[in-house]
Amino acid sequence: MTQPRFSRRQVVKGAAGALAGLGLAQFIAACGLPGTKDTGWEAGFDWSDWWKRQRRHDELNIASWPLYIDTENGKHPSLQKFAKQTGIDVKYSPVIQDNAAFFSQISPVLQNGQSIGYDVIVMSNGWQLTQLMQNRWLIPLDHSRLPNFKKYAGTVATDLGYDPHLTYCAVWQAGATAIAYDERQVDGPVDSLEILFDPKYKGKVGMLSDPDELGTVGLLALGIEPETSTYADWKKSAALLTKQRDQGIVRQYYDNGYIKALQDGDLAVTQAYSGDIFQANHSGYPHLKFVIPREGGVLWRDNSVIPYHAANPVDALEWINFYYDPEIQAIIEDWVNYISPVPAAKPIIANQLEDPVVADSPLIFPSEEELARLKEYPMTETLETHEKWVGLFDPIIQS
């Protein structure tokens, strides 16, 4: 080299110049990340007038969860019927695996006032759905276009603590969270949550890693009504669950992986979702039992909602109305095996589809008494209460 090399100082100077060029200085000065507040539709917007002006576009994009619709040879008969009857071209994407993760994907888009590309999304009741409603990121349903919902929706779909006037939510499926046990390892019958805290099953007890599920089961075990519980109650629940963990009773805090651990014999007893156990029972694991204990269980719902800026809202309503038709619901339910929002599908599954195992299962069509024993999660309507809740239960799950 005939010319002097870079000195360290020159490099630093050059780098500083480049930084200034990239506008980082401004970035730091004006720094901030915008919030979600006031990024939805304006309060007082006249939706009934808006709905009057909407027309069908014969297109529909649905985002849902994997294995959550009837499937035959890779096709979905219920959707095919829908397409044939209405002429709507449906695109079905099973892209949602976790409410929080999906929310964190769509949230920046909605925050920018753009369409997320789906006309219907399926969200569980919980903090993310509450956020979608509170941010006014959802389009209120036009119930005048949902005659089947009006006629056939059961209490599972009409009695919603988180959306009491059914403004946004049309239940897709519901389910119960309670306990499941392995008959080979546990002397049944089991009828109480006490078994989850029994040192006899040390290292063989599975709990759910969802803070809503975990915290609520603690409340139920203490005999506290979740819906009306207070922060003081939550602390008691957290103390109980911390003790359970510290005694070495909990093997792991699971997401959907608990079902595999239960099937493998790694767990003797676990918190569980009704549909998973029903399906396991009929795929080679008849020794797994699902019970709603005397302290009660949780009834959750996955809801079809229409995101703000959706391109095809009328087509979305057509679909919701379509799946509330008992004939269609029967096809879906006979495959999905969670709790159906349409009780009238039961005789159709029994008689026309000739599947009494599904029709007679209390896990799929629970009686009114059984439904009465299922509660909702505690209400966390503000960010402050939500943060208090996760602040108590996150440290237990991730210690």
Interacting residues toward other proteins by CB under 8 A: 3, 5-6, 14-15, 18-19, 22, 24, 27-28, 31-37, 100-101, 104, 135, 202-204, 245, 250-253, 257, 260-261, 264-266, 383, 387, 390, 394, 398-399
What whole-number distance in Å separates Cα of residue 258 and Cα of residue 277?
A: 11
The CA dihedral of 176, 318, 100, 94, to the nearest 10 degrees, is 90
Q: Are 364 and 339 in contact (CB under 8 A)?
A: yes
CA distance linking residue 146 with residue 322, whole number of Å? 9
Nearest-CA neighbor of 314 among 165, 145, 64, 110? 145
Residue whose token pair is 């888009």: 109
Residue with tokens 């709603």: 292
Alpha-carbon distance of 196 to 179, in angstroms, equals 9
Q: Taking CA 275 as the corner, what is the angle to CA 82 and CA 85, rounded to the nearest 5 degrees?
A: 5
Distances (CA, A) of 128 to 137, 177, 270: 11, 19, 25
CB 211 within 8 A of CB 390: yes
User: Minimum CB separation from other proteins for residue 250, in Å?
Assistant: 5
Q: Specify the residue, 34 or 161, whose C-beta has the smaller distance to other proteins.
A: 34
Separation of alpha carbons 344 and 336, rounded Å: 16
Give me 300's structure tokens.
């959750």
